[in-house]
Amino acid sequence: MTSRHHYHAKRKSTMMSSNKHTAKRRLEFPLHALPEKNKKCILRTGTKSLLFINQDIIYNIVSRLTLKDAVRTSLVSSTWRQLWTSYPNLCFDSPTMLNLKIGSGSKRTRHRFIRRVNAFLESHAGIGLRTFQVAFALDNKHAKYLDRWFRFALASKATEITLNMLPEIDRGSTQSWKGAYTLPFHMFDRQSASRIESFQLVFMSLKLPHDFYGFNSLRVLDLQRVHISGDLGLLLSKCNALESLSLYRCFPLQNLKVQQPLHQLRYLSFRECFQESLEFDAANLAKFEYSGRAPMDITLGEPINLKEATITLLEYDDTLEQVFTELPKSMSSVETLFVNTHLKTQRVDISGFFGLRGQLELVWYILDNALTLRSMSIDPRVRAYHRAIGYFEGLDLDIKNGRKCAFKFIPQYDYPNVQIEIF
């Protein structure tokens, strides 16, 4: 009995060990062992089952990795050696290619960056590309390499292209505009131009051909520190799908007029381009941002969906008249208007101050930003003129509330350099 019992226990133990080994072997399912495309495999682990449909899952996983990690997958197995060559999101910058935050200071560093990008593109399959980005301080002296990379992006059917010749970390650079890289528009054909959905250019030169067919699928256009030759308005008129347009320190743009309606445009931003007039027909515009000089002639058509507008006037000037008279004409439907400006006014006279929140915020803003202001008078009485009834006074209750609010929230001791009179 003892011997048979021992044998039974040993056999049971062996079976349990075997089951554990089998279970462990079932759980050890290396990712590179997934079946080829269009084949199916069901992996069972205990009571659970996982269904792997095809090898597209692997490509999807790899595409979510960083470029460095995608290249490292070639070490997993021989079957994974070429996976990264179809990586869809290429980003060539100093951290990725040189392990440096700033790598554009020396001629040697630039050459090392160029060599590595060239080597990478020679190994890439040139298929399935979605995003192509170069962020490195290069200029027209490196045009033969940049042209080659740009041609690769177009040939690989990239839909999102970024060429940043002045990375964010080098924005303090004093590089000359004369040496800026010129985008080779002649490389575009109708098919490649119609594929582009997002285009960002930083510190470059654009020479726009008059007969260019435009970007039919372009949704996002972002131009920063770009010297523009030619008619930008004509180009934008041929971008019917445009949803977001942003220009920062681009010149010369004294008068920008887009002839055709941009019905899809939702976001429009012009910052420090110092143009004199801006004319768009963007009925569905939802957000507008402008920073520059005043006065500024802005025409946006009839943007019935405009929710928010931010206007920053950079010069020291008496600009409140334009803010309250000219801006509402072009943005009559805006729900929220932010105005940032500097004043050099020496005397401000306010009447009809009832103590409304908006009135109080306007007074605070003037007191805080009018650097040369010496006196301000605040009168709760309405001393306005109406063509039908002439001058008229406010209600007694409003006058009482306005005076009480002014004394409470606009104390003289907070503004010692301004003589404040409250009537």
| DSSP assignments along 66-105, one per residue | -HHHHHHGGGT-GGGTTGGGG-SEEEEEHHHHHS-S---S
Identify the band that residue 89 occupies on the pLDDT scale cut at 50, 70 and 90. Answer: confident
Check if the beta carbon of residue 272 is closer than 8 Å to that of residue 293: no
Q: Over range 213-219, report the average pLDDT.
A: 93
Give the pLDDT confidence of 278-303 residue by residue, as tens digits: 889 998 999 999 888 765 788 888 88
Q: What is the pLDDT of residue 381?
A: 79
Q: Over range 356-385, report the average pLDDT.
A: 80
> Is pLDDT above 80 for 353?
yes
Q: Over range 148-164, report the average pLDDT.
A: 95
209: amino acid identity, one letter: P
Q: Which residue has the higher pLDDT, 363 or 387?
A: 363
Check if the beta carbon of residue 269 is closer than 8 Å to that of residue 246: yes
Looking at the chain, the whole-number percentage of residues with pLDDT higher than 70 is 67
Where is average pLDDT lowest: 22-31, 54-63, 86-95?
22-31
Q: What is the pLDDT of residue 246?
A: 96
Write phi, then psi, for 313 (nearest 5 degrees).
-100, 115
Q: What is the pLDDT of residue 294?
A: 67
Give the pLDDT confidence of 3-26 residue by residue, as tens digits: 444 444 444 444 444 444 444 444
- Whose CA is closest to 184, among 141, 150, 133? 150
Statement: the pTM of the whole predicted model exceeds 0.85: no
Q: Which residue has the higher pLDDT, 1 or 418?
A: 418
d(C-alpha 63, C-alpha 40), whole Å: 21
- Enclosing H/E stretch for 277: strand 277-279
Q: Which residue has the higher pLDDT, 202 or 65?
A: 202
Q: What is the pLDDT of residue 312?
A: 83
Q: What is the pLDDT of residue 343?
A: 64
Token pair of 183 as six digits: 């985008």
Q: What is the pLDDT of residue 264?
A: 95
Where is average pLDDT lowest: 111-120, 205-214, 264-273, 358-367?
358-367
> Is pLDDT above 80 for 157?
yes
Quick check: bond before 30 cis, omega within 30?
no
Identify the band that residue 79 occupies on the pLDDT scale cut at 50, 70 and 90. Answer: low
Q: What is the pLDDT of residue 386?
A: 47
> Is pLDDT above 90 for 70?
no
Looking at the chain, the whole-number percentage of residues with pLDDT higher than 90 is 30
Q: What is the pLDDT of residue 168?
A: 52
Q: What is the pLDDT of residue 361?
A: 85
Q: What is the pLDDT of residue 380?
A: 84
Instruction: Evaluate the CA torsion angle 104, 105, 111, 113 in order and state its sign.
Output: negative
Identify the band that residue 85 occupies on the pLDDT scale cut at 50, 70 and 90. Answer: low
Long-range contacts of 266-273 (CB under 8 A, 24+ apart): 267/243, 268/300, 269/245, 271/246, 271/247, 271/312, 272/248, 272/314, 273/247, 273/248, 273/249
Where is average pLDDT lowest: 182-186, 207-211, 236-240, 349-353?
349-353
Q: Over range 196-213, report the average pLDDT.
A: 93
Give the pLDDT confidence of 297-327 residue by residue, as tens digits: 888 888 888 889 888 877 655 556 666 666 7
Domain segments of the chain as ranges:
88-253, 290-423
Identify the band that residue 47 occupies on the pLDDT scale cut at 50, 70 and 90. Answer: very low
Give the pLDDT confidence of 122-136 residue by residue, as tens digits: 887 777 788 999 999
Give the pLDDT confidence of 375-384 residue by residue, as tens digits: 988 888 776 5
Beta-bridge partners for 246:
222, 269
Q: Over range 205-221, report the average pLDDT.
A: 93
DSSP state of 84: G
277: amino acid identity, one letter: S
Identify the band that residue 52 occupies on the pLDDT scale cut at 50, 70 and 90. Answer: very low
Q: What's the mean per-residue pLDDT of the chain?
A: 76
Q: Please list, in sequence order, all residues whose beta carbon lies within 8 angstroms of the beta carbon of residue 125, skipping any fewer than 6 positions away.
A: 82, 85, 86
